Amino acid sequence: MNMKAIQKICYGVYIISSKMNGKVNGQIANTAFQITSDPPTMAISINKQNLTHEYIASSGVFTVSILSKDAPMTLIGQFGFKSGRDIDKFKDIGHKTGATGAPIVTESTIGFLECEVLSMTDVGTHTIFIGKVIECDVLSDAEPMTYAYYHQVKGGKSPKTAPTYIKEEPQAQGTAPAPKYHCNVCGYIYDPEKGDPDGGIKPGTTFEELPDTWVCPICNAPKADFSKE
């Protein structure tokens, strides 16, 4: 099997959120898709280890906030590489409470859907939740972020709990451009050619030239937590 074929599937990037016992949590997911139009239903695939899984299974509701192409990596890092068991992910993030009582991210998003769970399918590491859409709206006409854009342009990674996680093979080195560095915490790769525009770092800035105050755009780890590729 050439598993590269599975990487040709197209996705968007979403924040899936839910609630439980007065608490809220959310996480990044690329696996959210419409199943039927009448009634409108959506499916999502969530790792059983994630706190959001527990919340959805318990409350029977989830929301899908659709990320804008311009969403900063810090927002994706907050929801994708941190656990709601350690932090309140919605603190300081623009959001509102939906009709389901689950939160909807209103910052760097272009629309949302709120769903009530109709059925759950156990698929080993993950559960597929199918939900009936009970409320939805468009928040902006900006372009949605695609998973390809997140990986190629934003330098984004998939956490090990993502359905689409792929173990990376070491790549052959070309002729000596400035070395890339990877974050030991989340796997983000700092590419001097791309810089970190969201963090105010121009393309062409080597890792050594980054200010000491610079932190990983995904997980906020300091420079000391980076290793040369």
Nearer to Fe ion, 27 or 59 (CB): 27
Size of the site for Fe ion (CB under 5 A): 8
Closest approach of Fe ion to the CB of residue 68, in Å:
22
Find the helix or strand (DSSP H, E) in which 58 lies. Answer: helix 51-59
To 10 degrees, the CA torsion angle through 92, 147, 66, 20?
A: -60
Contact partners, residue 2, CB within 8 Å, separation at least 6: none
**What CA–CA distances, in Å, run from 99 to 62, 160, 161, 220?**
11, 32, 29, 33
**What CA–CA distances, in Å, run from 161 to 26, 33, 99, 212, 216?**
14, 19, 29, 31, 20
Stretch that binds Fe ion, among 3-11, 17-25, 99-107, 221-229 (CB under 5 A): 221-229
Closest approach of Fe ion to the CB of residue 115, in Å:
31
Query: If binding is defined by CB under 5 A, does position 221 make contact with Fe ion?
Result: yes
Nearer to Fe ion, 110 or 183 (CB): 183
Query: If binding is defined by CB under 5 A, does position 215 make contact with Fe ion?
Result: no
Closest approach of Fe ion to the CB of residue 182, in Å:
9
- Read off the tokens for 71: 């969403």
Closest approach of Fe ion to the CB of residue 157, in Å:
8
Spatial CA neighbour of 155 closest among 217, 75, 224, 81: 217
- Mark residues 174-193: x for contact with Fe ion by CB under 5 A, - for none: ---------x-xx-x-----
Q: Give the residues lining the site for Fe ion (CB under 5 A).
A: 183, 185-186, 188, 216, 218-219, 221
